[in-house]
Chains A and B, each alone.
Chain A
Amino acid sequence: MRIQSGKMQSRLAGWLIIAAAGASFCLLTVMPSPAQAPAYKAPKTKDGKPDLNGIWQAMNEANWDIRPHAASQGPVFSLGAAYSAPAGLGVVEGGEIPYKPEAAAKQKENYANRLKLDPEIKCYMGGVPRSTYMPYPFQIVQGTNTMMFVYEYAGAVRVINMAAPTKAPADSWMGWSNGHWEGDSLVVDVTSLNDQTWFDRAGDWHSDQLHVIERYTRVGPDALQYEATIDDPKVFTRQWKMSMPLYRRMEKNAQLLEYKCVEFAEEVLYGHLRKQPIQGKGDSK
């Protein structure tokens, strides 16, 4: 058995070398530069569009802090290690958010007061791009002229208009999304976002001038590459970009479940208006 498997291994290795040589030849001849379109060809829907249907989720620490960060103590001491921030490599390209000086100061203030100010704690819709990398799945339902993005957190939903671009009548939490295809990428132009959402639990913020251009590209059978270009002249000195892979929830029975979090935020929002305060401020013993 051992000898045989050894033989098989060496035969396999031989094939691998040939295959690798072939592949590099292909790379050299077919692909002019490695920075261009990824080798993976997205499967297509019946109407010939790249198939983005599925339940997707980020697997990173961006919701704690989109910038590179070391692990740190969470804001609620009683939750100890269970709600402290794991370290993360960050998702901001170049690592830096180009805040204007006064905007950088506001981020620090937000961070110091995050337990009071973070809209996530209040069960407010996550906005764009934060909803994409909150620690909950979201589902893309790819229709003919529209695509629906449904987020488990707070039941937030966006309908992406794939026809001629339209304008929002008013600002909203999840913004106004016009989409189109560029090659195999879905590009979504998001405007009319309000100034109430954050980028993460670290208080990174934006104004109502936020303009996000998202790109969703299939890079494997079970992965999407997500990019968001962020523009907000009130808050940043220049455009900047974040990117990360998103992964398919592969459980056979995967489905978006309800996380109607209002009921979990009521005590923090309205507890002071109770007739009878909850003993021990509502924390479980």
Chain B
Amino acid sequence: MRRHVLSSLIALVAVVSLASTLAAQAPVAAKPAPAAKAWTMPRTPDGKPDLQGVFSNATAIPVARPANLGAKEFYTDEADKQASAALASGGRGGRGGPARPAAAANPEGNGLAVHYDTSQFGLGGPTVKRAASMRTSIITGPEGRVPALTPEAAKRVADRRAFQQEHQWDSAQTRPLAERCITWGFEGPPMMPVGYNSTLEIVQGQGYVAIVQEMIHDTRIIPTDGRPHAPAEIKQWMGDSRGHWEGDTLVVETVNYNPQVAIQGTPVSDAAKVTERFTRIDPDTIQYQFTVDDPKTWVKPFSGEYNMVKIDGNVYEYACHEGNYGMANNLSGARATEKK
């Protein structure tokens, strides 16, 4: 499936998740207006809320709030959304900040200066169903952005960046995790929209909730039987998750992250704890909320929220590593360049 250089893909993911064109696309799944007939929570045979199905967590909501919106958490209506988004980025919409250059280079529709267009493959852009939202940012609260780093974390980030700059082409082990097909960087927890292939499937068995994310075939099996966490020596790429039900909400707490794991681009510490809340709010929608608490990394905890929408179809196999031509190509290219 994967025949391209991953680094451009990663860039693309970053761009797509912010892409201005997204704001203009009509959301497919409008949240139903409160109907006369009350909706009943579907339940599994053992009486738990039924979260099962294939969902998309694609969204046009930026992670951080555009600066010009201040503490405004919600747009008042669609017109306000369009106008504010346009204002935020000089006519381009999206997250705010400087406009991205060379957007006209790709005539195929996404406005992205990249070598392919995900919407052609039904992977992103206007082909993807999204939950409607008037949120101005995924990160909630008056600030609407990831808080400042602690000095310790700032040093961690700087050290890693310096190492990367010097060694990024040395070996497979010094390439980015996504390019190595180890983690895509969005699996979380917290699970973040990927930009394309933002597809996941939830299956509930007795005492467990399992979530498979298509990118890059990462599965989390969350015990809900009240057992304690695995020993802290066992650090994992997706941490160690434990779930429980609070009313009709599945609450999942995750600790024991591998120290190479980054949340929102920042490597976390051994103190990182993420709490997720999954609540089915209508026949098509799961409300997903999360709080990231890592006092060694951020000066305060931060929370976010977006909705996942039920979609037709399947989660398909994403054999990332098995088809990783990019890694050998990148490294042999680097070796060839050194010889010049």
Contacts and interface: CB of A to CB of B under 8 A. Distances in A.
B180 A276 contact: no
Interface in B57-101: none
Interface in A244-269: 253, 255-258, 260, 262-263, 265-267, 269
* Of listed B172, B217, B314, B332, residue having the most chain A CB within 10 A: B172
A146 to B, nearest CB: 5
A151 to B, nearest CB: 9
Given A157-B217, A262-B180, A276-B170, A174 B317 contact: yes
Contact of B317 (A141, A172, A257, A270): A172
B332 A273 contact: yes
Given A253-B230, A270-B327, A273-B332, A148 B317 contact: no
Nearest to A123: B321
A45 B206 contact: yes
Contact of B237 (A46, A260, A265, A276): A260
A21 B316 CA distance: 54
B219 A257 contact: no
* Of listed A146, A154, A173, A273, residue having the most chain B CB within 10 A: A273
A125 B315 CA distance: 17
B246 interface: no
B170 A141 contact: no
Contacts of A273: 171-172, 328, 331-332, 334-335
Interface residues of A, number: 49
* Of listed B170, B210, B234, residue having the most chain A CB within 10 A: B210
A216 to B, nearest CB: 14
Interface in B190-218: 201, 203-208, 210, 212, 217-218
B170 A142 contact: no
Given A139-B221, A148-B212, A196-B322, A262 B331 contact: no
A178 to B, nearest CB: 12
Given A141-B203, A141-B210, A173-B319, A155 B219 contact: yes
Given A169-B316, A258-B238, A262-B181, A144 B44 contact: yes
Interface string A106-123: 000000000000000001
B37 interface: no
Contacts, number: 134
Given A141-B203, A143-B52, A144-B44, A266 B217 contact: no
Contacts of B314: 159, 161, 166
A148 B236 contact: no
Given A139-B221, A270-B328, A273-B335, A146 B203 contact: yes
A150 interface: yes
A273 B50 CA distance: 49
B314 to A, nearest CB: 7
Contacts of A45: 45, 206
Contacts of A148: 201, 203, 205, 210, 212, 219
B125 interface: no
Contacts of A103: none
Contacts of A266: 171-173, 180
B201 A159 contact: yes
B319 A125 contact: yes
A72 B180 CA distance: 34
B205 A270 contact: no
Interface in A227-285: 253, 255-258, 260, 262-263, 265-267, 269-271, 273-276
B317 A256 contact: no
Contacts of A146: 52, 201, 203
A21 B233 CA distance: 54
Contacts of B204: 141, 143-144
B272 to A, nearest CB: 16
Given A155-B219, A256-B221, 7 more contacts: A51-B206, A143-B203, A157-B219, A172-B316, A260-B182, A273-B172, A275-B171
